[in-house]
């Protein structure tokens, strides 16, 4: 479903992604694990196309030079240089790091805005569906999203990504800044989404512990390079991984 071939991403002259290749099969849950500044966000932005928009806007201003080499293939189609809004139309949704929702709109309006690509007649049904996934949001319907707690914002952000009816869901550090109890709840919700709706999912994390048990396959990256790959089980048994990413 998704294939990345020999990807290189430079910011100016700094190499953020270095010759990275990966594959995601339909229905899988794939993890990308790396510590701070390993290149997780850069990878997610390259997959979702956000980096293309950043590149174009920087070029216009004569700002930072961003270079992208290699290939991103989605459902057999080369999309390396496609704009993010066109990728969304093809069924790709990204839930950005630190859950940037629309802070001044209330929860309901956030979901309505996120329903931009779907038919008006499907909007209500889709919103109800998101509320059924995250019942905690129902009572907050009319609360301004900027005033929600971190965990609530993250639920909303995932709900918004689901509004576009994605076939591929990219989650950039969804557990960041959440307490362990909330992390467990969210992991359950993510598992449900992937299992029951059959949405292919790529999830990035700093800590391996909460996500290794649920992923089918994992890639460990350091300084933009793959250092280790394997199934969730294999990685879990690996002593190096335990030492570096279990954060005990």
Partner 1 sequence: MLQGTLIYGFVNSVILALIALGFNLTFGISGVANFAYGALYIFSAYTAWMLLTWLKINYLISIVIAVLLTSLLGGLIYKFILLRVRGMPISEVIASFGIGLSILEFFRFLGFVGSEYTLPVFIDGSVSIGETYIDIQRLLIVVIGIALVSILYLFTHYTKTGLAFRGMAQEERTALILGINSDKMATFSLAIGSGLAGVAAITILPLGQVAIEGGYSALLNALAVCIVGGLGSTGGILVASVLIGYAQTFTATYIGSHWMMIVSLIAILVILIIKPSGLFGKQKELEERI
CA gap 223, 200 in Å, rounded: 26
Q: Which residues bind Mg ion (CB under 5 A)?
A: 40-41, 97
Choose among Mg ion, partner 1, ligand ATP, none what residue 243 binds, the Cβ cut-off being 5 to 8 Å by kind.
none
Choose among ligand ATP, partner 1, Mg ion, none what residue 37 binds, the Cβ cut-off being 5 to 8 Å by kind.
ligand ATP
Choose among partner 1, ligand ATP, Mg ion, none what residue 16 binds, the Cβ cut-off being 5 to 8 Å by kind.
ligand ATP
Near ligand ATP in 57-86, by CB under 6 A: 64
Region of 208 on the Ramachandran plot (φ > 0 left; ψ -120 to 50 alpha; else beta): alpha
Indicate the residue among 18 and 165 with the shorter CB distance to Mg ion: 18
The one among 30, 38, 68, 95 contacting ligand ATP by CB under 6 A = 38
Choose among partner 1, Mg ion, ligand ATP, none what residue 88 binds, the Cβ cut-off being 5 to 8 Å by kind.
partner 1
The one among 7, 16, 68, 107 contacting ligand ATP by CB under 6 A = 16
Indicate the residue among 38 and 215 with the shorter CB distance to Mg ion: 38
55 contacts 229 by C-beta, under 8 angstroms:
no
Task: Give the shortest CB-62-to-partner 1 separation in angstroms.
Answer: 9
Indicate the residue among 40 and 126 with the shorter CB distance to ligand ATP: 40
Nearest Cα residue to 221 out of 12, 77, 22: 22
Task: Give the shortest CB-120-to-partner 1 separation in angstroms.
Answer: 7
Near ligand ATP in 86-105, by CB under 6 A: 97
Interacting residues toward ligand ATP by CB under 6 A: 11, 14, 16, 34, 36-42, 64, 97, 206
């Amino acid at each position: 479903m998704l294939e990345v071939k020999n990807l290189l991403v430079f910011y100016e002259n700094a190499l953020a992604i270095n010759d990275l290749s990966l594959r995601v099969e339909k229905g899988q849950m794939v993890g990308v694990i790396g510590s701070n500044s390993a290149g997780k966000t850069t990878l997610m932005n390259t997959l979702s196309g956000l980096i293309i928009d950043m590149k174009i806007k920087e070029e216009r201003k004569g700002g930072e030079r961003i270079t992208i080499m290699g290939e991103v293939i989605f459902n057999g189609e080369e999309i390396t240089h496609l704009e993010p809004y066109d990728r969304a139309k093809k069924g790709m949704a990204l839930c950005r790091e630190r859950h940037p929702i629309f802070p001044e709109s209330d929860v309901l309006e956030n979901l309505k805005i996120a329903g931009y690509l779907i038919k008006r007649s499907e909007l209500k049904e889709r919103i109800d569906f998101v509320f059924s996934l995250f019942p905690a949001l129902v009572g907050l319907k009319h609360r301004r999203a900027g005033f929600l707690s971190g965990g609530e914002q993250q639920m909303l952000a995932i709900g918004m990504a689901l509004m576009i009816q994605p076939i591929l869901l990219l989650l950039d550090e969804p557990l960041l800044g959440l307490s362990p109890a909330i992390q467990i709840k969210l992991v359950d919700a993510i598992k449900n989404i992937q299992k029951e709706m059959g949405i292919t999912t790529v999830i990035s994390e700093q800590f391996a512990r909460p996500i290794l048990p649920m992923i089918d396959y994992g890639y460990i990256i350091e300084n933009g390079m793959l250092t280790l790959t394997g199934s969730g089980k294999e990685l879990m048994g690996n002593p190096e991984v335990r030492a570096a990413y279990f954060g005990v």
